[in-house]
Structure 1
Amino acid sequence: MTNALIAALSTAFAIWLWTGPDPATTRLSKLTSTQQKPQWHSLSRRLTRPNPTRRADAWRQASVELCQALSAELSAGRTPGEALTRAIAAVDFPDPESLRPILAAARDGGDVSAALIAATPPQGGEGLRQLAACWEVSITVGAGLAALVERVATTLRTAQAHRQDVAAQLAGPRTTAKMLAILPALGLLMAAALNMHPLSFLFGSLPGLACLIAGITLDACGLLWTNRMATQAQS
């Protein structure tokens, strides 16, 4: 009875890990807001910090929205600095604090291109780098910034749509890998229900302990391998 209870709890924990909610990017206030965040909000943001892949996707999506907003502001007749300031304030970025130097450069007539490059994250910063190149070309040769930004926005939207299509195609293999990962726990539950005492074997003998370590290792390697292949396919 005890073995069956332990096996049931292990299975429930494995299913919870599989089906539990993924960390989501916390919605942040606008960059122009100076209101002090409560302490519990900072703790919540740290606890819900997305993994590198999700963070890179958030930066790419924010870059697309920034280029679209900037193109609209420029088309409305605003100056580049004012248009960039308004566009940044209208977009929710994963790390808005890192964009404050860009706002300062845009307001004070500084080197916006250099500020964009400095704020570019290691992953997911392709859009900001392309925007910095557009800004530099516009200043150097006098090209129309609105047209350049619109082309960058179109390119980023196309790339984002491709990544989403690949992610949708990889959803099935990822789900299958997670399901296979919890099958050993289900096997323990079935063995305990048949009064075969699997936990006594696994934890009470050297061969059982070796089987347990080997099984956990292979299970973890399978999940890591599947995740690595999926990540490479999306990059």
Structure 2
Amino acid sequence: MVLLAGALIAWPDGLARTRLRYVCGDAAARRRVLPAVLGRVPTKVIVPVAAGLVGLVAAGPLHACAAALLGAVVSELRRRAGVRGARLTRLGSWERALDDASSALRAGAGPEEALHRAAEGASSGDPGVAEILSSAASHARLGGDVATALHEAATWQADVASASSAGVGGADRVAGELAGAWHLATRHGVVLAEVVDGLRADVASRRERAVRVDAALAGPRATAVILTGLPGFGVLLGSGFGADPLGVLVGGPIGGALCLIGAGFLAAGLMWTERIVDGASR
């Protein structure tokens, strides 16, 4: 037990020193330890736990389960919205980067300078795109194979996206497509600027389509949110008529069971709507 307690104090690595200072009575460390710990906990865990604790304190265990379920659904929907936003940001960064690269190549710049300019253009949008292009520019400066460097970066990026379940769709494929275009130009004598510009046009069309689809599907998503709030409106309406629906819902185990069943239906409806809308956007 002593060894287990010591292991818990010393893990994970980055927080060990802060925790030891907290245990030893350092007041400054005590003020920093909670934000440091919470910063490492994913939002999809914090939101349901916080909602469940509020439900437990305010009503009871069944209400806590209902609140945690709704918190988990809200967290997942926010994560998916973030993924959609990241996809648009990354596609926009790739579009700017490829435009800068093709312009530099048409002006007579070498591969290293073209990739360096592309990395600078992408740095204001998605740092991941700038990092990939900077790595490829370093390979070009050292005489390495740019296509291989881009392909390795694309493979690593796909592995990271798969492990985190936060891939950004077609935006994750652009590095691999650029590697294929670079290989085609260097091995078969195709003009590199033309190939890069063609890829830029394809990325631009993908981004424009994603923007149009998101705009078209904003209405169904808003409708789903409004329908989700209708039960709350019904509770307020019942209270206005002199009934006590809120007291029934929070006043005992029957109310807790009704809250849990209702939360289950709401969660299923939201996720089902999101699945339908997500399928329509592909």
Instruction: State the alpha-carbon separation in 2 of the partners of residues 116 and 189 from structure 1.
Output: 58
Q: Which range is displaced more, 146-155 or 54-63? A: 54-63
Aligned residue in 2 for 1:54: 85
Instruction: State the alpha-carbon separation in 2 of the partners of residues 223 and 98 from structure 1.
Output: 37
Alignment of 1:165-204 (within 5 A): 165-204=212-251
Q: 1:36-95 deviations in whole A, cap 9, x for unaligned?
A: xxxxxxxxxxxx9x7223222222221122111111111111011211111111123433
Aligned residue in 2 for 1:90: 121
Considering only aligned residues, what root-mean-square deviation do their CA atoms show, in Å? Answer: 2.6
Picking from 130, 137, 142, the partner of 1:108 is: 142
What is the DSSP-based 3-state SS (H/G/I as helix, E as strand, rest coil) of the residue aligned with 1:51?
A: helix
TM-score, length basis structure 2: 0.61
Aligned residue in 2 for 1:119: 153
Picking from 189, 195, 200, the partner of 1:153 is: 200
2:111 and 2:137 in contact (8 A); partners too: no
Aligned residue in 1 for 2:260: 213
| 1:130 alignment partner AA | E
Alignment of 1:16-95 (within 5 A): 51-91=82-122, 92-95=124-127
1:112 and 1:135 in contact (8 A); partners too: yes
Instruction: State the alpha-carbon separation in 2 of the partners of residues 184 and 114 from structure 1.
Output: 56
| 2:190 alignment partner AA | A
Q: How big is the shift at 1:154?
A: 1.3
Instruction: State the alpha-carbon separation in 2 of the partners of residues 233 and 108 from structure 1.
Output: 45
Change (3 A) 1:184 1:65: same
1:81 and 1:109 in contact (8 A); partners too: no
2:88 and 2:210 in contact (8 A); partners too: no
What is the DSSP-based 3-state SS (H/G/I as helix, E as strand, rest coil) of the residue aligned with 1:132?
A: helix
Picking from 179, 182, 190, the partner of 1:132 is: 179
Q: Which range is displaced more, 207-216 or 175-184? A: 207-216
Q: How big is the shift at 1:98?
A: 4.1
| 2:121 alignment partner AA | A
What is the DSSP-based 3-state SS (H/G/I as helix, E as strand, rest coil) of the residue aligned with 1:119?
A: helix
What is the DSSP-based 3-state SS (H/G/I as helix, E as strand, rest coil) of the residue aligned with 1:90?
A: helix
Aligned residue in 1 for 2:64: none
Q: How big is the shift at 1:132?
A: 1.0
Instruction: State the alpha-carbon separation in 1 of the partners of residues 93 and 210 from structure 2.
Output: 15
Change (3 A) 1:118 1:228: farther
Change (3 A) 1:157 1:183: same
Instruction: State the alpha-carbon separation in 1 of the partners of residues 153 and 236 from structure 2.
Output: 51
2:238 and 2:245 in contact (8 A); partners too: yes
What is the DSSP-based 3-state SS (H/G/I as helix, E as strand, rest coil) of the residue aligned with 1:192?
A: helix
Corresponding residue pairs, total: 191
| 1:166 alignment partner AA | V
Q: How big is the shift at 1:199?
A: 2.0
Q: Name which structure has the greater RCO, CA cutoff 8 Å, separation 6+.
A: 1
Taking only the aligned residue pairs, the percentage that are identical comes to 28
Q: 1:90-114 deviations in whole A, cap 9, x for unaligned?
A: 1234333742422322332222222
